[in-house]
Amino acid sequence: MRFPLCRLLCLLLLTGSAQAAEPLDEIAQELTEPALNMNQIGDAYVRLVLALGEHDPDTVDAWYGPAAVRDEVKRAALAPAQIEAEAQALLLQVDGADSPQSQTQPELLSQRREYLKKQLAALVARAQMVQGEKFSFDDEARALYDTEAPRYVEADFAPVLARIEKLLPRQAGDAQRTLAARYNRYIERYAVPPAKLQAVMRLAIDEARVRAAKHLPLPIGERFELSLVKDKAWSAYNWYQGGLSSRIEVNTDLPIPVSRVIELASHEGYPGHHVYNALLENGLVIGQQWPEYTVYALFSPQSLIAEGTADYGVGLAFPGKERLAFTKELFTAAGLKPKDAARYLEIVNAARELVPAGIEAARRYLDGKATAADTALWLQRFLLYSPERAAQRLKFIDKYRAYIINYSWGEALVGNYIGANSNDIDGSPEQWQQFFELISQPRTPAMLAVPGD
């Protein structure tokens, strides 16, 4: 596929040089070629994402289109600079592109345009990064994820740390231990025994599915497989396979507490990543025949929507007392004492308020204002990580960089949006309806902005 606008820009830059030898009339002829329609732009976007994935494998998180397309992309062997230029040229055509939905579904078409523009802009930025261009943490967040996370200082987390200090049961020798050491010693008492982890994880995912199915139209035939893995930079991952199917992998390098089981079941499964991808495939790829959703570009605004809704979905599926009741059920399945669940959950919920400290840790580290050793200590002090978990998180930051904003900051944006458009009753039908619309239609982070914020 040729992109005349890109070629014209190149010609203008090279006018007067020997490289500008192509006749002007040929360029003019190309400029009169029919404009691309939205499906053609979507198809071209897919090919460019796959092309960048040949240079940067992490770019392509999921792909379930025709195998022949990937074969064509491999044969074309576009360089990152070509990918950048062609993505820029596509970006210029989106607003004027025609679409079959333009008459009957104008709002959906508008959402589709904004989605494609933001995805293409992020693809340009990622191609530049692959070519060696350096971005600050905040510039990278804006370029790839269409947002900028707040800044945090140590004092922001002091009240939560003080609360956890009071909540933790006292044990002999605590005076010589850091708060992080005390917290991890306590939490690991409630880790699921390795021999029971598969069964407990499956119990949690099955329960999360039942809860999601009460409120969401899960596509017929959706399914998942669960695998326990080791030696990863992440704690869990959903690999969407297409055909309404996911492979959920849980990393067992570190102990997995009961509370984390619930979080992973919801985040990776229901109503999180698996449901998000299945609804998009069913509604937009199969239903609308939109090719752009056959690929998931990891370093893109789509990830903020995906991670933010997945984190928000935990509390949606297991609100308030319902989460405590199911935590007790998992305690029993794991061979733990259900009577300990209430206090345990209170401490865990308090610790979740510290999660934004991870954004500041990554910002300082990636901007060169903190060493790896300093960052590991920050993670232990302000997120109460064990040294082992801090080392794992550093690997994640090294690999995925500003991607970390998509979790807690993404959840905050999603929560603000749903709250502004429904009510403040956790798990209410109105919240579920807003959540469904977020995960089944084209959305960008900018669309989550609440007037007055």
SS3 227: strand
Q: How many CB atoms lie within 10 A of CB 202?
A: 13
- C-beta contacts of 124-130 below 8 A and 24+ residues apart: 124/84, 124/87, 124/88, 124/91, 126/52, 126/56, 126/59, 126/297, 126/299, 126/300, 127/52, 127/80, 127/81, 127/83, 127/84, 127/87, 128/84, 130/52, 130/55, 130/56, 130/80
**Could you give the CA distance from residue 441 to residue 111 in angstroms, rounded to a whole number?**
8
SS3 318: coil
Segments making up each domain of the chain, as ranges:
34-134, 154-448
SS3 51: helix
330 contacts 265 by C-beta, under 8 angstroms: no
Q: Smallest Cα–Cα separation from 120: which of 89, 91, 99?
A: 91
What is the DSSP code (8-state) at residue 265? I
Amino acid at 219: P
**CA distances in angstroms from 372 to 135, 360, 363, listed in the order given:** 19, 13, 12
Chunked into runs of 10 residues, the chain (453 residues) has average pLDDT values of 39 34 45 74 97 96 93 96 97 87 74 96 98 97 96 95 93 81 94 96 96 97 95 92 95 93 96 97 95 97 97 96 96 96 96 96 97 97 96 96 97 96 94 97 93 66
pTM: 0.90
Pairing of strands 245-251, 223-229: parallel
DSSP string, 238-260: EEEEETTEEEEEEE-SS--BHHH
213 contacts 205 by C-beta, under 8 angstroms: no
**Could you give the CA distance from residue 344 to residue 328 in angstroms, rounded to a whole number?**
10
User: Which pLDDT score is estimated for 105?
Assistant: 79
Contacts of 255 (CB under 8 A, 6+ apart): 188, 191, 192
User: Which pLDDT score is estimated for 445?
Assistant: 97
User: Which pLDDT score is estimated for 233?
Assistant: 86
User: Which pLDDT score is estimated for 449?
Assistant: 87
User: Which pLDDT score is estimated for 7?
Assistant: 40
